[in-house]
Structure formats: structure tokens, C-alpha cells
Structure 1
Amino acid sequence: QQENNLDPELTVLQNLLVFARYFDIAAPEAERRSHELLTFMALEHREESRVPDLSGGLLRRLVMARALLNRPELLILDEPTTGLDPQSRHQVWERLEELRADGLSILLTTHNMDEASRLCDRLIIMDGGRLLVEGKPAELVLHHVGRHILEIVDPVDGLAEFLGKRQVQYENIGHRIIISIEDGSDLYREISERFCSGGCAMRMATLEDVFLRLTGRELRE
């Protein structure tokens, strides 16, 4: 769970009301905004709870509610769903999508490629402090990987030679071969008939495929 600077001695509602005073928000308006944001973040039933009693997902939503109290034009988030369970993660995503639809600009960092694909209109991929690519998620996938990924588990001998003759881009990662293809139906049929011993699966290419293609598959410190 990432650190936060919520006051553990105060309730959920009190944390928002105290924070509002830093922006000289009048008490009646601060209370109105606080209740509005707690409802928006599905925290209205926990407004009298104290911070130590909240789960990681509830804490993350409370921090976001607090960040919205002064109605910013830009919301900056650092890995907003790290460590959250799937239900909490999707709830945060839904709230961020609503905020984006309402015109709020959001700048976020994330290692979750599903999150980046879902929330970002544009993104950059960085590695070791270097900017590798920039663009719209779908365009990056199409440009760097293609439309489909074909994965072959424990392929039989001859597949690499077969792919080389057809000038098909692929990665050999030991017990699996990963192939990037535009339209995989014909290729899939031929490979599955001739080279699949452990199984073949075709799927849509994703932003994670782009990330791994550009940064490599080696483990990082």
C-alpha cells in the first residue's frame, strides 16, 4: 500500500473539511463539496470512519476526493490503482473516466498497461529515463506490434524456419514463440496444423505487447 498523508486522528469527512481550509473554501461550501465528492467516490457510508479503519481501495478513493476539493484543472496521479483488488481498481477507473468526460485533464504514471489503454488519450512509454515512444494507445499497438498476437507453446521443430521464409516477425522466449501478425486466420490454421504440439492461441495485440517489445523481457531491479 502506498503512503498517504491523511490524518489518522480524523474521520473521512473531517479530513476533507480540514483540507478545504487550505484553499479558503467557506465552511458551508466545503461541507457541500465534501458530501458531493464522498458520494461520487462511493464513500458516503464511511464519512464517520477513521482513516486506520479503511481498506487500501477506500483510502485511494478518499485521497482522490480530497484532491478534487478545490476543483483543479489538472489532476496528477502516481500509480493510482497499485495494490488494489480488481473491484476497487475498476471503481477507480470508472470515476477517472467520468472526470475525464467532464473535461478534467489527468496526468498519470502507471505500470499497468490495461490502465494506460483505458484511461489515456495519449501516452508515452519510458525506460531508464528515456522516452521511447509517444502516441495514442491503439495507434502504438498497431504500429509496433500489429493487430493480432499468435502464441505457440512448445512448438515443433521447423517453425522458426517456416516463419523466416514468410518474413513473419516473432519472438522466441524458450518454450513459447510469439508472433505479431496483421490478419492471422490463414497463418493460424497452417501453424496449428503443422507446428503446434503444446497449443496455439490467437488474441488481439495489447499495449503490454508494445511495452515488452520496446523494453525487453529481462527482469529489472
Structure 2
Amino acid sequence: METNGHDHVIEVTDLRRVYAGEGGAFTAVRDVTFSVARGELFALLGTNGAGKTSTVELVEGLAPPAGGRVRVLGHDPHRERAAVRPRIGVMLQEGGFPSELTVAETVRMGAGCTSGARSVAEALDLVGLDRRSGVRVKQLSGGEKRRLDLALALLGRPEVLFLDEPTTGLDVEGRRATWELVRELRRAGTTVLLTTHYLEEAEGLADRLAILHEGRVAAIGTPADVTAAQPSHISFELPEGYFPGDLPPLAELGVSGHETVGRVTRLRTDELQRTATALLVWAQRAGVELRGLDVRAASLEEAFLRIARDVPDGDGHRREPAPATTRRKRMKRTKETAA
């Protein structure tokens, strides 16, 4: 199968993951389908409990799916783990390192389990921990532990790299250094599947992305494609004596909806340039000052929030995401069942 001249190294079709607990079965992943081309960075976004980590664990081969099909580098990552594992790198949300080992000892231990591993010095230099090699793991900051996680994931020079929330706990400098490292890996041909809560991270790194909600794919495409599906906004305050009804017919301005709060008018439009130009031409001709004028193109954040708020469930009813505490309790009660 080809996409833009590149074969798919990850193929996920109608994937399902089901947990069984005291309250009955809970489906965490529902018929998820996507593919990732060689050398591509694909990001999975979603609210807490949306199914990101549950999906990635199935693709990594850590558990069998309850339904559907997964292929990584042409193999079933769970049943054919021996064929897949040497060619992938995995950075989990938490590494769980022995606290008394030093950073170098931890990497050396990982290298001993990895075919063709990088040297300890090279791995630590990649993630900026070369000067912390003699420090015990328990003395590392949260951000440094995440960098150590990444060093271990990169030991085997993986063809496919799984990054589950890789920059959580990093400061701004550390986050941007990690982004640049990921870009360098991609330029060298590494395929990356990323989960993240940072929309800026996804927007800046991903070739394509999917937004999960309640275990389903709610949107998929390039960041620009997903963003373009949302309206842009223009807000302003009319001077005393003017009202929204004094504006030209909103349909002629390309406006798809509007609201007024006090003296502030907010317009929604799918044709930002046309709407903004027509509005400013009208204001100039009428001699009107549009106070507090704010013109905002659609953003990935708006797309994400709208999906989290408005996507219907399987019965066609709209619902709010369950509170995070409720989801954590629900998942804590459950254990996985392989259907």
C-alpha cells in the first residue's frame, strides 16, 4: 500500500480495546482506523480518557486487541513480537527505573537488552544528559527522567518510534530541544507515532494527526485540514448609537453566525479574508471605529475543544466528556479482557 510514494509502516483497522470490570465491559477504543507512512510523524490527540494510550499500547504490541487489525512493519506486533521489537523504540508515560542506579548504569542495562545499541555516551549526548551520567536516578528531576526515558527508546536506532507524552515535565528549553531531536530523527527516516496533550507540539511536529474522543476518531488529517474545518472569528465593539443591525447583511460579509454580548459583536466565518475586508470597508465608508477589533484565524485548539465538547456518542446524542476523576476510578476498577 502506498501513500505519497511511501509504504505504510503502521496500519490500524477497526481497532477495539475492551476492559472488563465490576460494572460490566468498558470499550476504551472503538473502531479506530489510521495509517502512518514511512518517515511520517503522526500525532494522537484527545482529552483524558479518550483512548490515546490504550490505542498506542495495542500498536506497540503490549496487548492483543479485542477486535480489528494492527500491522507494524508488516507484522502483528503482539503475535509476532520477536520480528517487530528489535526495529521499534518505545517511550512510555513512565519508565520506572531502579532509583539507586546511576544514569549511565541505567542506559548500560538497557543497552545490554538491545541489539546493535548505541554507546552509552552517544545515547546520553542525544538527550542532553551527558553531564548527568554519574547521578543516581532518584536524584533526577521529572524532566530529566523523561529525557532518560527517551535515551532508552533511542538505543536501538529504531525504524519506528513510539512517544507517549514525551515532553511532560520538561521546561520550555527541554521541550524545544526534544522537538528538534525528533525533527532530526524524522529527517533521518524514523517514523514517529506521538501522543501529546500539548497542541503546539502536535501542530509544530505532526505531518498528520487524529483527535480521539470517547475512544473514536473524531477528526483526522493534516493540522491545517483539521483546523480548516473550524470557523474563524472576528470580534469588535461598535460605538454608541450603532447596533449589529446597522452592519451590511451578514450573509454578504460571508458570516456563518454571530452573537452579541453587551456592546461586543462576535462573527463566525469560513471566509476570514472576505469577511474582514468587507467589514473594514464598511467601517471606513461609515466613519465608524471598530473598537477592540480582534481577528482570529481558526486554530487547532478550537478544533480540539469543539470536538471534546460537541461530538455525538454512538446513539447520536451529544455529551460532555466524563470528569477525569471518574474516568480514573473506572479504569482503576477494571482489568483487560482479550475478546
In structure 1, distance between residues paired with 2:243 and 2:251: 11
- Does 2:266 match 1:177? yes
Kept in 2, the 8 Å contact 1:125–1:134? The answer is: yes
Partner of 1:152: 235
**Matched letter for residue 179 of structure 1:** R
Shift of 1:39: 1.0
Shift of 1:202: 2.2
Matched, 1:208 2:301: yes
Whole-angstrom distance in 2 between the partners of 1:62 and 1:126? 28
- Contact 1:159/1:195 (8 A) holds in 2: no
Unaligned regions of 5+ residues in structure 1, if any?
none
TM-score (norm 1): 0.78
**Contact 2:160/2:191, CA 8 A, preserved across alignment:** yes
Identity score, percent? 35
Matched residue, 2:198: 112
Decide whether aligned partners of structure 1 residues 182 and 106 sit closer, same or farther in structure 2, where only a CA change above 3 A counts: same
CA RMSD for the aligned pairs?
A: 3.2
Residues 132 and 51 (structure 1), Cα distance of their counterparts in 2 relative to 1, 3 Å cut? same
Correspondence 1:87 to 2:153: no
Encode CA deviations 1:128-183: one digit per residue, 9 max, x unaligned: 112112111122223x036xx44426678844895743341346596783634331
Q: Establish whether residue 78 from structure 1 lines up as the match of residue 164 from structure 2.
A: yes
Per the alignment, residue 109 of structure 2 pairs with 18
The answer (yes or no) to whether the contact 2:143–2:168 under 8 Å persists in 1 is no
Moved more, 91-100 or 182-191: 182-191
Q: Which segments of 5 or more consecutive residues in structure 2 lack a partner in the other structure?
A: 1-92, 311-319, 324-339
The one of 210, 227, 231 equivalent to 1:141 is 227
Describe the shift of the 1:188–1:95 C-alpha distance in structure 2 as closer, same or farther (beyond 3 A): farther
What is the Cα deviation at residue 66 of structure 1? 0.6
Q: Distance in 1 between matches of 2:256 and 2:99?
A: 54
CA shift in 2, pair 1:204/1:84, >3 Å? farther
Deviation at 1:203, TM superposition (A): 3.9
Change beyond 3 A, Cα 1:160–1:67: farther
Higher relative contact order (CA 8 A, sep 6+): 2
In 1, the alpha carbon distance for the partners of 2:199 and 2:305 equals 11
Deviations 1:95-117 (CA, angstroms, capped at 9, x unpaired): 11111111111111122211111
**TM-score (normalizing by structure 2):** 0.53
Q: From the two aligned structures, give the one with the greater helix fraction.
A: 1
- Verify the 8 A CA contact 1:74 1:106 in the aligned structure 2: yes
Query: Could you tell me which residue of structure 2 aligns to residue 46 of structure 1?
Result: 132
Conserved in 2, the CA contact under 8 Å of 1:150 and 1:200?
A: no
- Partners of 1:140 and 1:59 in 2: how far apart? 33
One-letter code of the match for 1:212?
Answer: L
Greater strand fraction, Structure 1 or Structure 2: 2
Partners of 2:124 and 2:201 in 1: how far apart? 23
Judged with a 3 Å threshold, the aligned counterparts in structure 2 of structure 1 residues 24 and 120 are, in CA distance, closer, same or farther, namely closer
Aligned pair count reads: 211
